[in-house]
Amino acid sequence: MIKQFIKYYKPYKKLFFMDLLAALLFAICNLIYPMITRNIMNEVVPNKDLRMLVVFALALLFIFIMKAFLNHFMQYWGHVVGVRMQGDMRSEVFTHLQKLPNSYFDNNKSGVTMSRIINDLMDISELAHHGPEDLFISFVMLLGSFIILLNINISLTLIIFAIIPFLIFFATKQKNRMRKSSMESRVKIGEVNATLENSIAGMKVTKSFCNEEEELNKFNKSNNIFKDARQKAYKVIADYFSGMNLFMDILEMVAVVAGGYFTYLGKINLGDYAAYILYVKMFIEPIKKLINFTEQYQNGMTGFERFMEIMKEDVEKEVKNPLELENIKGNIEINNVSFTYENNKQVLKNINLSIEAGKTIALVGPSGGGKTTLCNLIPRFYDFSEGDIKIDGISIKEVSLKSLRKNIGVVQQDVFLFTGTIKENILCAKPNATDEEIIDAAKKAKIHDFVKSLPDGYDTYIGERGVKLSGGQKQRISICRVFLKNPPIIILDEATSALDNVTEREIQKSLEELSKDRTNLVVAHRLSTIKNADEIVVLTDSGIAERGSHEELINSGGIYSKLHVS
């Protein structure tokens, strides 16, 4: 884990080593100060040497100015290193998320994932900056003050250091408790974020059903769980810090009493005694830094551990050196395809279906029959366990995911629009598209006139998830995206089932325009929209039950005819 963490320093190693050099000089400045104090008390004051007093005063002023400069450098550039590492990790984890299969997002709450990317990485940033710096300063200060203390009086130093083993034993014992409580707190805050995100997204539904109290109870329940976990974590932290500070106070007390006694015996003079107390305080300061570092390390490494859990998730699989789909006609062959979800629920079994280029095939049937699942398998949003799907005779498992999905346009019932403008949402289909291409696609989707009627036109802000638009307007933007993408294969997954009859008829005209000269796979809820399909396939949980034209299936008196009547 430590090795994996260290590799993120590599791009900033020059700045990192400059920060450590500043830390070294800062520690040296701290070590010089008591020596000057010792010389002033032992030599300058007894000899009434005013010139040396001025020299030492100027030396101290220089040291303090140098410390201020070094401290500013460490505070700013040290944090810059941490922030840049954090940015790299956040970019890396988001890139990795884009490569994860849909099953990951089915099984993980977005609020929990957001907590890992935002909250956990903040603590990693602090550890990346303060961790090495504090450790380095502490090491220099401990070693330097220890050598100087031995130089002043060996016996006195050994008496004081006899306390250190007890301090180390206590710190080690508390370490695992802190790690466990820190991890538990992070899991719970992720759950709070997930609950909060869900509640905010569904606020209109909550208001429409006057369900505010129930949602508040849900939030309070997860919030209280987090509070309990955090309270336990703070109890462990309090035990640790209070115990460590007690050892620090005892260490300082022993130094004062033992040093005073040694001065009383005449084994050290007053200047040595004063310097000794200062060095003991300097010796204590790095220990306090190490105490603080322990909590910081637990928080940071717990966050890094949760970050690595995402990074270790398996990405969507591709063969080595995949083929690129180019200039395809759009023939689709589905051969003996079976699919089972992670909960061991089999949805599709031995499905065989052939779709000729330029033809329209409609999928109908009862809910749970696997219509949407089959549509999701063609662009490989999920990987099927058995059988094969080919496009123009090439297995989709042999081609790159990017080239596969570039050739497939999907219009779903639930349209997702990004927070932003109309233009930005259309451009997600083709980021480098010109304004002329956008307008042409919008005209084909029958939404250009509506957009031009808005005060800001295509630059109109549509709110979070397109909240400022109607269902029909959202669907038209979705269709506009596919027109702009211009793929040879179109999948329409109940694209109009959530719309009213008037809007559906208008949208259907856009869909008919979109479907021209393309291979189309249509999932239909309203059977009136698929009468003109080249072939209609009735899909049930047992497989393909019926297939044929609208008239053939109506005349056969089977499942389709009953669905049509109902």
Q: In this structure, what token pair is assigned to residue 505? A: 């008829």
pLDDT grade, residue 205 (50/70/90)? low
226 lies in the same domain as 83 = yes
Highest mean pLDDT among 151-165, 298-312, 436-450: 436-450
Per the CB < 8 A criterion, the answer to whether 119 and 185 are in contact is no
Per-residue pLDDT, 296: 75
The enclosing H or E element of 409 equals strand 408-412
496 lies in the same domain as 480 = no
What is the DSSP track for 327-371?
Answer: S----EEEEEEEEE-TTS-EEEEEEEEEE-TT-EEEEE-STTSSH
Tell me 499's DSSP state.
S
Per-residue pLDDT, 148: 77
Per the CB < 8 A criterion, the answer to whether 335 and 391 are in contact is no
Segment 502-530 mean pLDDT: 78
Residue at 231 is within a domain: yes
Residue 258 Cα distances to 35, 124, 157, 264, 283, angstroms: 20, 42, 10, 10, 16
Per-residue pLDDT, 196: 67
Q: Would the pTM count as exceeding 0.75? A: no
- pLDDT over 60 (residue 207): no
pLDDT grade, residue 335 (50/70/90)? very high
Which amino acid is present at 48? K
329 lies in the same domain as 237 = no
CATH of the domain at 125: 1.20.1560.10
Domain range for 300? 2-311
Per-residue pLDDT, 152: 76
The values of phi and psi at residue 339, to 5°, are -145, 135
- pLDDT over 60 (residue 127): yes
Per-residue pLDDT, 500: 64
Residue at 345 is within a domain: yes
Residue at 216 is within a domain: yes
170 lies in the same domain as 268 = yes
The values of phi and psi at residue 357, to 5°, are -55, 135
What is the DSSP track for 70-123?
Answer: HHHHHHHHHHHHHHHHHHHHHHHHHHHHHHS-HHHHHHS-HHHHHHHHHHHHHH
Residue (of 488, 522, 547) closest to 331 by Cα position: 488
Residue 251 Cα distances to 262, 285, 433, angstroms: 16, 12, 70
Which amino acid is present at 558? G
Residue at 199 is within a domain: yes
Residue at 137 is within a domain: yes
User: pLDDT higher for 459 or 121?
Assistant: 459
473 lies in the same domain as 509 = no
- pLDDT over 60 (residue 208): no
Any idea which of 6-15, 271-280, 301-310, 436-445 has the lowest mean pLDDT? 271-280
What is the DSSP track for 235-301?
Answer: HHHHHHHHHHHHHHHHHHHHHHHHHHHHHHHTSS-HHHHHHHHHHHHHHHHHHHHHHHHHHHHHHHH
Q: What is the mean pLDDT of the chain?
A: 81
Portion of the chain with pLDDT greater than 70, in percent = 91
347 lies in the same domain as 464 = no
CATH of the domain at 384: 3.40.50.300
The set of residues, in sequence order, having a beta carbon less than 8 Å from that of 134 and lying 6+ positions away, is 289, 290, 292, 293, 296
List pLDDT tens digits, range 248-297: 778 778 878 887 888 888 887 777 777 777 777 777 777 767 766 776 77
Segment 185-212 mean pLDDT: 65
Strands (E) across 460-515 are located at 489-493
Portion of the chain with pLDDT greater than 90, in percent = 10
- pLDDT over 60 (residue 209): no
Highest mean pLDDT among 205-219, 221-235, 267-281, 416-430: 416-430
Tell me 209's DSSP state.
T
Residue at 266 is within a domain: yes
Per-residue pLDDT, 436: 92
Per-residue pLDDT, 75: 82
**Last residue in a domain, options 242, 277, 311:** 311
What is the CB neighbour count within 10 angstroms for residue 361? 20
Q: In this structure, what token pair is assigned to residue 225? A: 């769980």
74 lies in the same domain as 207 = yes
123 lies in the same domain as 11 = yes
The values of phi and psi at residue 328, to 5°, are -85, 155
Residue at 80 is within a domain: yes
Rounded to an integer, what distance in angstroms lies between the CA atom of residue 474 and that of residue 417?
A: 7
80 lies in the same domain as 50 = yes
Per-residue pLDDT, 286: 74
Given the structure tokens 């109607």, which residue do they identify?
Answer: 470
Rounded to an integer, what distance in angstroms lies between the CA atom of residue 483 and that of residue 469?
A: 20
Rounded to an integer, what distance in angstroms lies between the CA atom of residue 138 and that of residue 144?
A: 10
Per-residue pLDDT, 317: 87
Residue at 412 is within a domain: no
Burial of 320 (0-12, 13-18, 19+ CB in 10 A): exposed
Rounded to an integer, what distance in angstroms lies between the CA atom of residue 256 and that of residue 260?
A: 6
- pLDDT over 80 (residue 408): yes
Per-residue pLDDT, 398: 93
267 lies in the same domain as 349 = no
431 lies in the same domain as 507 = no
Tell me 526's DSSP state.
S
Per-residue pLDDT, 518: 87
**Last residue in a domain, options 484, 512, 542:** 484
Q: In this structure, what token pair is assigned to residue 513? A: 């325009």
- pLDDT over 60 (residue 7): yes
Q: What CA dihedral angle connects 560, 562, 565 and 566, to 10 degrees?
A: -110
Rounded to an integer, what distance in angstroms lies between the CA atom of residue 405 and that of residue 413?
A: 19
Segment 59-85 mean pLDDT: 87
174 lies in the same domain as 162 = yes
Burial of 137 (0-12, 13-18, 19+ CB in 10 A): buried
Per-residue pLDDT, 327: 87
Tell me 532's DSSP state.
T
Residue (of 529, 535, 530, 528) closest to 552 by Cα position: 535
List pLDDT tens digits, range 449-504: 899 998 899 999 988 778 888 888 888 888 888 889 889 999 988 776 656 666 66
User: Based on the structure, what is the number of domains in the chain?
Assistant: 3
Bridge partners of 361, per DSSP, are: 521, 535
User: pLDDT higher for 190 or 241?
Assistant: 241
